[in-house]
Amino acid sequence: MSHAFLRLVSTSGETSYSLLSKGEVVIGRDPSCQIVLNSNDYAMVSRRHAIVRSSKTLDGRTSYVLCDLNSANGIYLNGEVLHRCQELQAGDRIKLGNSGPELLFEYQYNYQDVGEPQPAVTITSMAMSANPRALVNSDTEASWSQMLPILFRPKDFTRKAYLVPGIITVILVVLLFFVQGFLYQILLGAYLASAALYFVYQLCGKPKAWWVLIASAIFTILILLSPVLSLFFLVFRSILPGSIPDNPSTVSFGELFLRYFFGSGLLEELLKALPVIGFYLLGRAFTSPTREYIGVEEPLDGILIASASAVGFTLFETLGQYVPGTIAQVAQQMGTDAGLRLGLELLIPRILGDVAGHMAWSGWFGYCIGLSILKPRHAWQILALGYFSAAGLHGLWNSSTGLASTLGIFVLLLLMVVGGISYALLGAAIVKARALSPSRSQNFATRFYH
C-alpha cells in the first residue's frame, strides 16, 4: 500500500497531514477544511484555498492532483504559478501565496491507507488537543496585532503595502502645493515617469537594484547631452536616409516612414540600448551573485534596464525640448500662464504614453538582448529581430503623427493600433521572460484578478 502526506514547513516546526487515498482534502483557514491553517499566522491563505484530489490510475496506483480554489493570492508549485490543476509528484513544494506557508508533498510505500488526514503529534497540536477552544478563539477573538497592525510590522510590510511608493506620493503631493511654474511640471513629469517604470518593475517581478535603474536613466540623459548624439545624427540622418523633413505633409507616407525608421527608430532604439550593453559589460567584471544583481543575465534584466533608459529619454525629450518649446511659443502670443497650462496638457499624455511608446519599444529590444545572452547560439538573429521590429514600430508611430494635419481622425485610430500593439508586445515579452527566468522561483510579480 502507499501513503501520501503534506508536510507543513514553518518556523515553529513541521506538521504532517495524511492525504485521503479516496476522495479529496481541502486546505484553508475555514474550520470546515480538512487541513486548517491558523488565520493569525497565515492571513494570506484564503478560507478555502486549495484542494488535493486522489484517484486511481490505470496501473493501480493512487494519483494526487492539486487545484486552486480561486484563491486570492494563488498557489505556487515549485516556484511556478498554478493556474488550474496539476498532478503532484514526490518532493513537490506547494506555496499558498507568494509569501505564504509552504507544504512539501511526500509519497511513501508500505503504509496502510487511512480514511482521513491526521496531523502528526507536535507541541502545537498537543496544546490544541489539551485546549480545543484555542482554535476557535483564534478566529473569534481579536488580538493586539489585528487591532494595531502597524505596531507589529506584518511580514513583507514595505512591499505588500506599497509603503515606499505611498510615502513618495505623499511627499510629492505636499511639494506640488508649494511649487509653481515649470518646477511643478518637472516634479509631476518625474513622478508619472517613475510610476510607469514601477508598473513595469512589478510586472517583471525580478528584484533589481533601483540604483541600477536610476543610473540607466541618467546614463541615457548624459548621452543625449554629449557629442555622442551628434555622431548618431551623422550616421543615421546624414549617411543613412533618415533626415526628418520640416513639413511631413509634403512627402508620401512610404517615404516618411522610411525616414523615421532610420532617423528615429534605428537611431533612438540603439541609443536607448546603450545602458543595457553597458551594464552587461559591467556585470562581466563581477562574480555571482553581484553579476546577476547589477548585470544583464536574462531577458528580465534587459527589459528593466531598457525601460529605465526609456524613462530617461522621455524625460529629456519631454521636459527638455517639447514642453519648454510649447511654453515659450504660446507665452509670446497668449502670456506665461497660458503657456504653462498648454505645457501641462502636453506633459501628461506624453509621459503616460511612455508605457505604450518608448518603454514598450525599448523593453522589447531589451528582452531580445537578454534572450540573446540566455540563448547565445541564435544571438544575432534574436538581436536583429528585436532591433528592427522595435525601430519599425517606432518609425510607424512617428510617421503617423507626422501626417496628423492631413489624415485627421484616421491618425488617431492608427496611433491607438500602433500603441496597443507595442504595449502588447512588451506584455508578451514580460510574461515569456518570467517563464524563462532562471530565478523564477523568487519572482514576486503581482497577480491581477478580474
Contact 4, 106 (CB under 8 A): yes
Same domain, yes or no, for 333 and 402? Answer: yes
Same domain, yes or no, for 53 and 133? Answer: yes
Q: How confident is the model at residue 404 (pLDDT cuts 50, 70, 90)?
A: low
**Residue 449 located in a structural domain:** no
- Region 305-315: mean pLDDT is 96
CATH number for the domain including 21? 2.60.200.20
Phi, psi of 124 (to 5 degrees): -65, -45
Same domain, yes or no, for 178 and 83? Answer: no
**Residue 154 located in a structural domain:** no
What's the confidence (pLDDT) of residue 20?
A: 77
Same domain, yes or no, for 208 and 255? Answer: yes
Contact 312, 368 (CB under 8 A): no
What's the confidence (pLDDT) of residue 156?
A: 56
Same domain, yes or no, for 256 and 324? Answer: yes
What's the confidence (pLDDT) of residue 16?
A: 86
Q: Is 358 strand, coil or helix?
A: helix
Residue 155 to residue 99: CA distance in whole angstroms: 8
Same domain, yes or no, for 104 and 230? Answer: no
> Residue 450 pLDDT > 50, yes or no?
no
Same domain, yes or no, for 82 and 191? Answer: no
The residue from 86, 113, 147 where one domain ends is 147
Q: What is the CA radius of gyration of the chain?
A: 28
What's the confidence (pLDDT) of residue 407?
A: 61
Residue 268 to residue 387: CA distance in whole angstroms: 11
Q: In terms of residue numbers, what domain contains 211?
A: 162-442
**Residue 292 located in a structural domain:** yes
Average of per-residue pLDDT values in the chain: 84
Same domain, yes or no, for 407 and 351? Answer: yes
Same domain, yes or no, for 61 and 190? Answer: no
- At 372, list the grid cell: 540573446
- Residues 217-276 have pLDDT tens digits of 999 999 999 999 999 999 999 999 999 888 877 888 889 999 999 999 999 999 999 999
**Residue 290 located in a structural domain:** yes
**Residue 447 located in a structural domain:** no
The residue from 93, 119, 147 where one domain ends is 147
Same domain, yes or no, for 22 and 137? Answer: yes
Residue for grid cell 502526506: 5
What's the confidence (pLDDT) of residue 135?
A: 40
- At 94, list the grid cell: 506547494
Q: How confident is the model at residue 41 (pLDDT cuts 50, 70, 90)?
A: confident
Same domain, yes or no, for 334 and 390? Answer: yes
The residue from 121, 147, 173 where one domain ends is 147
What's the confidence (pLDDT) of residue 141?
A: 59
> Residue 133 pLDDT > 90, yes or no?
no
Residue 312 to residue 278: CA distance in whole angstroms: 15
**Residue 157 located in a structural domain:** no
What's the confidence (pLDDT) of residue 275?
A: 97
Helix or strand (DSSP H, E) at 119: none
- At 297, list the grid cell: 543575465
**Residue 122 located in a structural domain:** yes
The dihedral sign for the CA sequence 333, 338, 342, 343: positive
Number of domains in the chain: 2
Same domain, yes or no, for 380 and 234? Answer: yes
**Residue 49 located in a structural domain:** yes
